[in-house]
Amino acid sequence: MFVLTLYTMAYLNMIPKRIPSTLTSYDLVKTFAVLTMVVDHIGAEIYPDENWWRVVGRMSAPVWLFLIGYAKSRDMSPMLWAGVAIIALTNVVVGQAVMPLCILATILAARFAIDPVMASIKTNPALLYPIVFVAFAMAIPVAAIVDYGSEIFLMVMLGYITRNRYELTFMDKERFFVFACVAAFSHILYQTYVFFNFEGMQAILAGAGIFVVTMGLTRFKPAQCERLNSALPRPVAGFFKLCGRRSLEIYVAHLVFLKGLGAVLGVGNGTFFNFHMY
């Protein structure tokens, strides 16, 4: 299954892309997100009773979600759809629930929705408040369909607003800061108390990490890091580029591997080929 996944993702990625030869700021933030993501999934699939892995993993999702809104592209390529299908099929094989669909489905939904939603807010800025409320309030029902639920849309909106805030007449400096705090605290609430129910120091550190990452992302700008690229050893620079430019393939391949390994080791109560939706 793991080898088939690698071949499938490689085949779907045969179309050449124009990619800078030097390190970029995207490579740096995506490498951080990839590393914390891998830690998170090791905890989820191999050490499900040890929450500290998941505490570290809470730092990953805000980066991916923010970049959805920040990006100019709204790519909904076959690779994303294939990734959703591969993870769902893997869950069937290892006896895990098919639903909710993995975060790739959440990303597809967010990419589909962000431009029309923001266009409506530009036309009528008063719509910002009910949209924020609905995204926050519907998080749990939507989380039964796609991973993380609808509250993640606030982080996606933050990415869009960060890139375009000087063109948004209703978004002054103070409102921008307030919106960033709302997005951060919404994510903290759901990711530390509702979906994961961390306690004590785990909740404090997970919440602090999410807040710091979110506020740091509001200062993100696309840049080529030529000095850093020259200063780093070639294998290290190559690792950053791999994480930044092959993050989708890394996500799918490592998750298939970890789910399979967890099933072989007998982690959890799953039974091979035991299909169930929830």
Residues ≥6 apart with Cβ < 8 Å to 231: none
Q: What's the chain's average pLDDT?
A: 92
Work out the pLDDT band at 268, boundaries 50, 70, 90: confident
How does pLDDT run across 22-40, given as a tens digit for each residue? 999 999 999 999 999 999 9
Per-residue pLDDT, 1: 52
Angle between helices 103-123 and 128-137 (to 10 degrees): 160
pTM to 2 decimal places: 0.91
How does pLDDT run across 90-143, given as a tens digit for each residue? 999 999 999 999 999 999 999 999 999 999 999 999 999 999 999 999 999 999
Count Cα atoms within 13 angstroms, Cβ side, for 193.
8
Q: CB–CB of 125/82 below 8 Å?
A: no
270 vs 59, more confident:
59
Rounded to an integer, the average pLDDT of 63-87 is 94
Rounded to an integer, the average pLDDT of 32-53 is 96
φ/ψ of 224, rounded to 5, equals -95, 125
Q: Which of 63, 26, 17 is nearest to 158 (CA)?
A: 63
CA–CA separation, 158 and 165 (whole Å) = 9
- DSSP states along 25-64: HHHHHHHHHHHHHHHHHHHHHT-TT-THHHHHHTTTHHHH
Work out the pLDDT band at 11, boundaries 50, 70, 90: very low
CA–CA separation, 203 and 47 (whole Å) = 18
CA–CA separation, 24 and 75 (whole Å) = 20
Residues ≥6 apart with Cβ < 8 Å to 56: 36, 39, 40, 43, 209
